[in-house]
Amino acid sequence: MVKLNVLKWGNKYDSQYVNRLYTLITKNLDIPFQLTVWTDDTKGITTEIEHRDIKELRPYDTERMFTYEKLMLINRDESEVNGWLDLDIHINENITELITRPHPNITFIWNHWNDFRDMSLRPYGKGSSCHVNSSFVFWDKGKATWLREYTEEHWEKIAWTYKSLDKYLFYQHARNNRLSFWGEGLFSNYNVDGLGGKVTLFNTSHLYNNKISVYKKHYELHETDLFMAY
Amino acid sequence: MNSTKLIYSWLTEHDELTFIACNDFELMDQLRELGIIVHCINYDINYKDKDDVICKDAIFDKVEFKGCVVHWNCEKTFPVGKVHQGEFILRGDAKGHNGDCNPIHNHAQLMSQNGLFNLYDKYHDDTHTYVYGNNLGADGI
């Protein structure tokens, strides 16, 4: 059994985001799975998905680090294979191989769609870079324990320093080669290189969270035809 | 080195300094020319092949602080005084650049964040706040 998790809180995404992703997974994953939604509002979410209170993933009284809740899924009643997915993704192709391959370490997305030298290496010292994406993450039972333990041990420093999970992962763990990454070509970013790979991300939350203004229009999933394509 | 700045007189009082998050390599070289042992810890991976840089994160990684600790950009990190006890020269600004997690607005902020209650000196210039002291306890020992 594979345990999949999604997180939904606030009003940025509605229940249709959850239900469409569930349908997409059923069409593109050939093995049994259980999907849990961690949320503050279960209204409209299909009962085929397990509903859990997102407060269970919030041991810390902070809104400082965006989506740290994902890390609280680690070591929580794990199955043989475990993962989380962001709601604003579109699954283009069958993902069974991604899920069933061995994950000897927790596996994240490397932002291959952005040039590392220009986007992340050059401004690295400013603390503003990020080349890790946590929209589609999997690990085998017990293989991510180190990350949960490190996070708990260093929480005060982490919460002080980083506004997002991805930036924490980039500066503290990618820097020390502790993370694993999916291969190049498996994921695309709709707002950078369009559709491609097995899964397409929209990846707009950090723009809002960091109040980053961009000249180019960045599309939300529901603003595209893909939203109804499931 | 612009010796009219007070911080330079602070720096030259020491035989050994450990700089954190400083990319003013000219300054550090000038201090070395004065016979001061200068260590430079910087998490910026652009410096990973530079012989005179210890490319580590002074807050999260295991590092050795030798002599007086000079934090050149306190606005970018967790307070170093929470992970080390000793003498400090601290410099920070409140420009609020993307990536700054800790904009520094005044002396009291630097002192309280770092437990720097034995203060030797302090000042502001147009852009930065500077404090010099230690967090070794009530009697400074």
Q: Would you say residue B80 lies in a domain?
A: yes
The pLDDT value recorded for residue A208 is: 55
What pLDDT score was predicted for residue A61?
81
Provide the number of structural domains found in chain B.
1
Enumerate the H helices of B64-106 as residue ranges.
none
> Rounded to whole angstroms, how far apart are CA atoms B94 and B75?
7
Q: Is residue B91 part of a domain?
A: yes
Q: Which two tokens stand for residue A130?
A: 């990020």
Write down the pLDDT at residue A183.
95
The pLDDT of residue A150? 98
Contact B130, B6 (CB under 8 A): yes
> pLDDT per residue over A56-101, tens digit each?
999 998 777 789 999 999 999 999 999 999 999 999 999 999 999 9
DSSP type of residue A183: P
Torsional sign, CA A64, A10, A200, A183? positive
Report if residue B9 sits inside a domain.
yes
Residue A206: pLDDT over 90 = no
Q: Report the Cα–Cα distance between both ends of chain B, in Å, rounded.
A: 31
pLDDT at A205 over 80: no
DSSP 8-class letter at B54: B
Chain A (113-132) residues lying within 8 Å, Cβ to Cβ, of chain B: 121-129
Residue B140 belongs to some domain of the structure: no
pLDDT tens for each residue of A89-126 = 999 999 999 999 999 999 999 999 999 999 999 999 99
The residue with greater pLDDT, B2 or A178, is A178
pLDDT, greater one: A216 or B116: B116
**Nearest Cβ partner for B100 among A127, A156, A171:** A127
Per the CB < 8 A criterion, the answer to whether B1 and B8 are in contact is yes
Q: For strand B16-20 and strand B68-71, is the pairing parallel, antiparallel, or unpaired?
A: parallel
Phi, psi at B54, each rounded to 5° = -90, 105
Say yes or no to pLDDT of A211 above 60.
Answer: no
Residue B79 pLDDT > 70, yes or no? yes
Q: What is the pLDDT of residue A213?
A: 52
* B97 contact A CB<8A: yes
- At A4, the pLDDT band (50, 70, 90 cuts) reads very high
Residue B129 lies in a domain: yes
What are the helix (H) ranges across chain B? 6-11, 25-33, 107-114
A66 interface with B at CB cutoff 8 Å: no
pLDDT at A62: 79
CA distance A194 to A206: 18
Residue A229 predicted with pLDDT over 90 = no
Cβ distance of B101 and A162 shorter than 8 Å: yes
Percent of chain A with pLDDT over 90: 88
Q: What is the CATH number of the domain that holds B15?
A: 3.40.50.150
Domain assignment of residue B52, given as a range: 3-134
Top residue of B47, B77, B78, B113 to mutate, by most chain A CBs within 10 Å, is B78
Q: Is the pLDDT of residue B129 over 60?
A: yes
**pLDDT tens-digit readout, A139-188:** 999 999 999 999 999 999 999 999 999 999 999 999 999 999 999 999 99
pLDDT at B29 over 60: yes
The verdict on B25 touching A (C-beta cutoff 8 Å) is no
Strands (DSSP E) found in chain A = 2-8, 33-39, 50-53, 81-85, 89-91, 107-110, 132-140, 180-181, 187-189, 199-201
Residue type, A84: W
In a domain, B141, yes or no: no
Instruction: Give the three-state DSSP class for A155.
Output: helix
Contacts with B45 from chain A: Cβ below 8 Å: 121, 124, 175
In a domain, B95, yes or no: yes
CB pairs under 8 A between A and B: 50
pLDDT 10s digits, B33-67: 999 999 999 999 999 999 999 999 999 999 999 99
Q: What is the pLDDT of residue A216?
A: 74
- List CB contacts (< 8 A) between A121 and chain B: 45-46
Residue B26 lies in a domain: yes
Looking at residue B70, what is its pLDDT? Answer: 98
Name the average pLDDT for chain B. 95
pLDDT of residue A203: 82
| Cross-chain Cβ contact A124/B42 below 8 Å | no
Does pLDDT of B141 surpass 60?
Answer: no
